[in-house]
Structure 1
Amino acid sequence: MTARQLPRPTADLHTHTDFSDGHDPLAEVVAAAGAAGLGTVVVTDHVRADSGYLPAYTAAVRAVRADAPLRVVCGVEAKILDTGGRIDLPADLTGVEHVALADHRFPLPDGPAHPEQVRELLATGALTPARARRLLLAATTRAVTRLPAGRTAHLAHLFSVLPKCGLDEADLDPAELAPLARACRERGTAVELNEKWRCPSPRTAAALAAAGVRLAAGSDAHRAAEVGRFDWAAGALAEARPDTLAEPRR
């Protein structure tokens, strides 16, 4: 059975509009989600601590949801900054209901590093692959515990930064995931299987699901036509454990 024949997720927890780096307007993204037969779409445009567009963004989401044929959740995507788990979020999140937590850069003790910098550290022996994996896991775990209260959240494209740095997710021991799984379970934070980056692997997702972590599907769509397309994620979710499929809680 192919992924196209599998039951499709009914929620897309990771989409972008032209408020950040998406190609299409918010209304087109929501319309595409409805056309794809989704029951929920979460818009997760990128933010940083100094982002100033949130008032206009949250107002636009409120306006479009009034006539939307599905549930529209106002979210943002923010990166993990360092091994202390700091998150690159604006101080004022008024109107934001959901946070997608992402590894856009490699979180080191002194801040986020470009993957090429990590490659250089690995090449010179200043950083070992095992320590790099431990640092990323620690940073992600701590970031989950620092997510703002009163909002739903999920981990977006978990471990996507590893291959960019020349590291392999397959080298992770499932036992190393225990602290992250515990943090996600206790905080109600889902883990997304990301269609664009095809991560985390079904093996990793299965280990997290076995530890009680909820799984989700995210297209990471940057064009309206990509919303709700889960050619890889549907199969990966089924392989990991479909009964853990998550939507943002109401």
Structure 2
Amino acid sequence: MKNGKIILFIIVVIALILLKRCFKDIFSLSDLVSIITAIIMYVTVLVMKEGNETNSRLNRLEQIENTIMKQIEFHNNLLKRIYVNYESVGRGFGFSNAPINAYGEEAFEILYNRLKQIYSTMPGNSYKSRFDMNVEENRIKDSFTQLYKEYGVLFGNYFKNLYLLVKYINGIDVKDFPRSYYMDLVKSQLSKYEILLLAYDCIWIQDQPKGQNFIDFAKECNLLSALETNELIKSVSPVKHTDIFKDHYGIIFREPVEFTNT
């Protein structure tokens, strides 16, 4: 942009000089100098304006990136503070000085296993239409509601903060902002069981306007790309949970990769 303006300035000056030669009786030397001076001032103002806009944008990008990194750090601190007592879920070690609580990623594994237990014990007579996808989704929501009643005080803020972080990154509209990089950075913080529980949390809570729910961002930002579909809850009905994500929310998962010895 700056080089283009300089080239334009040179062309205009050359044109004025040629005009001076052709119409020397009309333009005096002082007229030519005044015109060239005015053009120089105009180009200078444009260049300064462009430079100020660039600096402002770069400063804004720096502020945004600092905010994101602080929020990621805060999110990781929230994760570390999440804990589940081993004995409360029948995992006591039975010896002195044994660890009492599971923290962070390990706590999420226990929470996810608890969700599977709740799901498997949901009263069957409440879900009579086994082939109805909406009925199966309601069973998932009821199961997560029960999990939240038991442990929501521990992981509620975790998911709220993750939602706000993803929404913030997705909503940034500044030139040259590497949105995909920071979204991938957020996704890289999530462990296997965090992603699994996130998937069901996205189905469970949908209290925002259309397009602003966590499930909407999960689709738009591909948040669940690393989800291991073979670890999803085994449906008690013919309706697969991957089909709910696909048919109700447009989220399609890659087939799990199977490794064999050759």
Normalising TM by the smaller chain, what interval? under 0.3
- In our comparison, the structure showing a higher alpha carbon Rg is 2
Name the one with the larger strand percent: 1
If asked which structure has higher relative contact order (CA below 8 Å, sep 6+), I would say 1
TM-score by length of 1: 0.26
TM-score by length of 2: 0.25
